[in-house]
Copies of this chain bind each other. A is one copy, B any other.
């Protein structure tokens, strides 16, 4: 059984809207190696798990799976904010891009030429359950062979691929809203890599210097480096309300990433960050355009606007 708190698992930095970055992030949400996939894969592996003696492995997968639901919430909210209006709406134009790889564009920004018209036409400037080329998420992505070694091996490869793609994404944009979430997910993917690598270690595999994958570069991203300094790549939360998880029997000892840290499964959950609701956008033909409807809603709901102004700025 699942519960919710009205907080985001990590804070999202404020910056300009950026539809192209939003579209790149869709890969991390609805792509074959994105958060919806990890979430669903681990949920199915937990549900179908057989073998009571192997409970620590089930609990490890279950705990990471629960975290992935919060990641879906985080990256979805990030995309929604990146789409909330556009530079054009706000009367701003980004500076021209000067030189490849130099101060201007990030190295892979060439990939960002396109967006997804559905963000404006089918959705209302919000996240969609699709990847960065618009393919809907598919249940065919979910892998659950029923063989423990294979499932763990797949999960390790899945987290590493997710991390690889997020490193590429990071290089595609300089938008701070996008990068704050990308950096957080790069580090959490490494924590999950560590978890599955460690589980395979208990079953006999020795990774020597192979991990993490990709091995380099991410720590050269300042937002990532800050989180690595906090040791976030070596923590795994249980998200378990009644402390029955036995994942800590596996997630302990030296990190398979060989960064000198010890794995730590002692915390239930991170502190999280506030999760305010965005302002309506009238041009989307949402109900807000209808004054009578707003009055009806106002009659049943009353809420302080102060913290919204604090987060999104005051409406002119």
A269 CB contacts on chain B under 8 angstroms? 1, 3
- CB distance A23 to B137 under 8 Å? no
Contact of A1 among B5, B55, B123, B127 (CB under 8 A): B5
Residues 200-228 of chain A, each 1 if its beta carbon lies under 8 Å from chain B, else 0:
10111111111001111100111000000
Given contacts A213-B147, A280-B51, A301-B249, contact A44 B134 (CB under 8 A): no
Q: In this assembly, does A156 line the interface, its C-beta being within 8 Å of a C-beta of chain B?
A: yes
Nearest B residue to A75 by beta-carbon distance?
Answer: B47
A137 CB contacts on chain B under 8 angstroms? 137-139
Give the distance in Å from the alpha carbon of A116 to the alpha carbon of B281 in the complex: 28
Give the distance in Å from the alpha carbon of A29 to the alpha carbon of B134 in the complex: 18
A239 CB contacts on chain B under 8 angstroms? 2-4
Q: In this assembly, does A230 line the interface, its C-beta being within 8 Å of a C-beta of chain B?
A: no
Q: In this assembly, does A194 line the interface, its C-beta being within 8 Å of a C-beta of chain B?
A: no
Give the distance in Å from the alpha carbon of A146 to the alpha carbon of B280 in the complex: 10
- CB distance B134 to A136 under 8 Å? no
Q: In this assembly, does A72 line the interface, its C-beta being within 8 Å of a C-beta of chain B?
A: yes
Q: In this assembly, does A24 line the interface, its C-beta being within 8 Å of a C-beta of chain B?
A: yes
- CB distance B3 to A3 under 8 Å? yes
Within 8 A of B (CB), among A1-43: 1-9, 19-21, 23-24, 27, 30-33, 36, 40, 43
Residues 135-150 of chain A, each 1 if its beta carbon lies under 8 Å from chain B, else 0:
1111110101111111
A286 CB contacts on chain B under 8 angstroms? 50-51, 146-148, 214
Nearest B residue to A222 by beta-carbon distance?
Answer: B101
A7 CB contacts on chain B under 8 angstroms? 1
Q: In this assembly, does A157 line the interface, its C-beta being within 8 Å of a C-beta of chain B?
A: yes
- CB distance B305 to A52 under 8 Å? yes
Contact of A284 among B168, B215, B246 (CB under 8 A): B168
- CB distance A123 to B136 under 8 Å? no
- CB distance A112 to B112 under 8 Å? no
- CB distance A54 to B4 under 8 Å? no
Contact of A149 among B118, B170, B210 (CB under 8 A): B210
- CB distance A124 to B111 under 8 Å? no
- CB distance B108 to A123 under 8 Å? no
- CB distance B150 to A157 under 8 Å? yes
Give the distance in Å from the alpha carbon of A138 to the alpha carbon of B131 in the complex: 12
- CB distance B148 to A77 under 8 Å? no
Nearest B residue to A52 by beta-carbon distance?
Answer: B277
28 interchain pairs (CB within 8 A)?
A3-B4, A3-B269, A4-B240, A5-B242, A6-B242, A23-B112, A23-B117, A24-B117, A44-B126, A53-B297, A53-B301, A56-B300, A101-B174, A106-B172, A109-B172, A111-B115, A114-B114, A124-B144, A124-B146, A125-B146, A126-B144, A138-B140, A147-B287, A148-B287, A150-B213, A153-B157, A202-B300, A206-B208
